[in-house]
Amino acid sequence: MYIDPHAHMISRTTDDYNAMAEAGIVAVIEPAFWVGQPRTYVGTYVDYLSSIVGWERFRARQFGIRHYCTIGLNSKEANNEELAEGVMEWLPRFALKEGVVAIGEIGYDEQTELEDRYFRAQLLLAKELSLPVMVHTPHRDKKRGTTRSMDVIEEMGVDPSMCVIDHNNEETVAETLQRGYWAGFSIYPSTKMGNRRMVELLKQYGGERIIVDSACDWGISDSLGVPKTAELALQSGIPEETVRRVCYGNALAAYGQSGQISEQDWLNPPEIDQRTLFEGNSVLRGGREPLVGEGARSRRDDLIIE
């Protein structure tokens, strides 16, 4: 069994869900994030957050995957002060909804004054609600941004054990682990971390507080990043227990601190029933026969691939 604790499923297809389930992924965590272009109105942000706590949770269940999410104002849009102020008013309401396992992903992009202000505000919210935090480390000037993120977390009185510092790489991992944080690694080829590099890091650091995720989104990314990395690690001689920790157990332990995610959610799941609707909508189209029953999977025998 695998957990993908950072997957932007709102930008993925039903085929992704089906493939993930077949590969052994039992649960995903979907962080609130940047959607590729600026949102200019608070209402569009509210609708987006509503989708990841509602429709996406329903859609995943139709393919046998449990869906959770994190709620937050992302760092890029923190630079639009008017939008950010409006979103901050909504966040407490969404953070208390079922299936929300953390505040996130939050942190720095360009490391501006506004990003810092809203990072701190959201850390306070997480502290007040006793929720874990998912931290986005910047793509540029990553080492300084990662160190600064942890400095601010500690200034705000948030326990490092409640924080996942995500998108780590070779230059940030040692400090992240030494300071007592969970270290997330996104298997997002070319820009974040490839799975061969990840295996080398596992050989060096073992599995203590390390979490593997795919960060799959609307970019060139792989929704099977976690199981593929697990398979490569096993082939490379990484102990099975270490692989289980970094691709399953550590994510469950870190985000389980929210009280919103439990192993029993997928060990004793409700049956798949594609006859059910969400706000009158179904995952089915064109009179397709619904799948009903535990272990049901989408039928692909009617697809012709040339």
Cα first-last separation, the chain: 32
Q: Mean pLDDT lowest for which of 26-35, 194-203, 273-282, 289-298?
A: 289-298
| Tokens (6 digits) for 10 | 């709102």
Cα–Cα distance between 57 and 17 in angstroms, integer?
Answer: 12
Q: Is the pLDDT of residue 136 over 80?
A: yes
Count of C-beta atoms within a 10 Å radius of residue 69: 27
Residue 130 lies in a domain: yes
Domain count, the chain: 1
Is 302 inside a domain boundary?
A: no
Tokens of 164: 């996942």
Question: Which CATH number belongs to the domain containing residue 146 in this structure?
Answer: 3.20.20.140
Instruction: Calculate what percentage of the chain has a pLDDT beyond 90.
Output: 81
3-state helix, strand, coil in the chain (%, to 5): 45, 15, 40
Q: Is the pLDDT of residue 15 over 90?
A: yes
Q: Minimal CA–CA distance to 270: which of 296, 289, 298, 294?
A: 294
- Asked whether residue 291 carries a pLDDT value surpassing 90, the answer given is no
Average pLDDT, the chain: 92
Is 21 part of a structural domain of the chain? yes
For residue 287, pLDDT over 80 is answered with no
Give the tens place of pLDDT for each residue, 161-198. 999 999 999 999 999 999 999 999 999 877 778 899 99
| Angle at alpha carbon of residue 112, lines to 176 and 110, rounded to 5° | 65
Is 15 inside a domain boundary?
yes
Give the residue numbers spanning the domain of 195.
Answer: 2-267
pLDDT (tens digit per residue) in 106-123: 999 999 999 999 999 999
Contacts of 264 (CB under 8 A, 6+ apart): none
Whole-model pTM?
A: 0.93
Q: Would the pLDDT of 304 be above 70?
A: no
Reference 118, options 212, 32, 10; nearest CA is 32
Mention every residue, 6+ apart, whose C-beta is less than 8 A from residue 18. Answer: 63, 297, 298
Lowest mean pLDDT among 12-26, 191-205, 283-297: 283-297
- Measured distance CA(242)–CA(258) in Å, rounded: 24
Q: What is the C-alpha separation between 68 and 63, in angstroms, rounded? A: 14
pLDDT at 206 over 60: yes
The confidence band for 306, taking pLDDT boundaries of 50, 70 and 90, is: very low
pLDDT-based confidence at 298, cuts 50/70/90? very low
Residue 189's pLDDT is 76
Establish if 105 belongs to a structural domain: yes
**Residue 138 domain-assigned (yes or no):** yes
Residue 211, SS3? strand
Give the tokens for residue 287: 């009179």
- Residue-wise DSSP of 46-93: HHHHHHHHTHHHHHHHTTT-EEEEEE---TTGGGSHHHHHHHHHHHHH
The answer to whether residue 213 sits within a structural domain is: yes
At residue 266, the pLDDT reads 94
Q: How many CA atoms lie within 13 A of 293 on its CB side?
A: 6
In a domain, 243, yes or no: yes
pLDDT grade, residue 271 (50/70/90)? confident
In sequence order, what are the beta bridge partners of 283? none
- Cis peptide preceding 105, ω within 30 of 0: yes
Q: pLDDT value at position 302?
A: 38
Judged against a pLDDT cut of 60, whether residue 16 lies above it is answered with yes
